[in-house]
Structure formats: structure tokens, C-alpha cells
Structure 1
């Protein structure tokens, strides 16, 4: 039997903890998407376009690689990637590792749109760090990354 958690008095394997975690993540996702829409709009982007462009800023990626990084379906990324290419914000380039799976890369116009978002993004990061405190902000990131790795490790298994 699992010992109760000191903070909650509940067992660590409590289904309620999973439910509360999921609901908290869903709420955070909505909050982040709302803020992202506000930050991206002046640059002519949507939150989803910003997310896909952001994924390929460090290096070009195939649509499937972007989908894996973002944890969404390949079809969703494909639709957004095609729109970004159509609007001149990104381009497809040959993939030496796979003839048919082209790489998505931002164009200069796409990079400029991201640069337009950067000041608002930095201001929000500063305000959030002030609200949480630097150490707690870093710990939050660490725990969210740990939770994501744990979910990856579980895969699609359900017990």
C-alpha cells in the first residue's frame, strides 16, 4: 500500500491526483493558448502558427518530427505547415534522410514575425517569474518536463 502524501493526506497513486493533474494541465493549456493568441496576433500569426514556426527555428524538421515534439497529430501540423508555406512564412526543403518527407524551415518573413512576438513573450516571462519567484518557476518547468517524460514512458498503456 502506498503511504499518504504529507501535503494532501491522499495516497500517491490516488486517481484523484491524476484527475486534478489532468484538469490543471487542461486549464493551463487553455490559458497559454489564450495568451499565445494575444501575443501572436499583432505579428499576423495564430498561436498554432507560432507553435509550428517555433519548432523549426533551431533547425528544419519534417512534419512528423514537429508533431512528435509538440505532442499533436501529424495531420494537424501538416495543415498548419501548408498554410505557413502558402503565406510565405515557411518553406519546404529537401530532406536528405527521406526523399518524400520534406523539411519545414522558416523563411525570413517567418523569422521576422517571430521576432515581433519576442518582446511581449519576454515581458510575460518576466511577469510570471516575478509572480512565482525564479526558483519556483524553474521548479515548475522541471516538474512539467518530468511529468511529460513519465507520460511518454507510460506510452499508451492503461492499467
Structure 2
């Protein structure tokens, strides 16, 4: 009996290790996009990823054909939304890193854009996960994509009053 249980636990650990080896990098990248941190300096993203993986491991035996990546991604997204709500008074603007490609977006816009465009989650699933109407998810995603594709330009300091030097 103990041998079977030990064997089952060892198999579970190997399966989870294989899952993490294949999925952790992509999940960390998604978390880094959500937190709008620099890819090489992302402590908030790592703090989001760790409990998502722990939650997935805790549910591993109860997944019954459910995609473990989807489980981890859902936990990551809902935890990010909850933390953004508590830390910033709703989905207010946090302080993103200027090197982040999503630095100009508010947390809700980042969340929806990452789920829809980076993760490929359908509008209906994103809306259900966030408790929003599908139309709202669509409009937020469109606005966020437009902002990323056409960022606001900040003037270069000193360029406004600079005069051309004759040659």
C-alpha cells in the first residue's frame, strides 16, 4: 500500500515538474506583461507566478483532463486582478517600468490584452473570467491594442527650442 502511494506521489511530482519545465517560462512572460515590469527585473511577476504554480500543484490530482496551463493562467489572471484592485483602488494606474511594451496601459487593459492577444483566450472566456460583458472586453481590448500600436509620443527635452545650425 505504501509503495503504491509513494509511486503515485513520485509520478505526480514528475508530471508536475515536466509541466513546469514546459509552461513556467510562458507563464512568467505573461505575468511580466501583466505587471509591466522589465523582463530582466520582474519580482512582482515572480510573486504572481509562484502561487499560481502552487495552486495548480495542489489541484493536480483533481484536474481530471482539465488543462493545467489553463488552471495556472486563470489563477494568475484572477490574482493579478485582485491585487490590482486592492493595491491601486480598483484598476487604477500602477507604476509600470518604462521599458515594458505595455507601460502605457492601465492594469485592466493589460490584463485583457495579455489574455486575448498573448494567451489567445476567447472574448467570451475572458469576459466570464473577469465578470464583464463581452462587448466591454472587446472595446477595452481594441483600445489597449490601439494604444500599444500607436503610443503617445513624448517630446524630446530641449528639442522644442532648438534651432538648426546652418551648414
TM above 0.5, yes or no, is: no
More strand by share: 1
TM-score w.r.t. the length of structure 2 is 0.30
Quick one: higher RCO (CA 8 Å, sep 6+), 1 or 2?
2
**Larger Rg computed on CA atoms:** 2
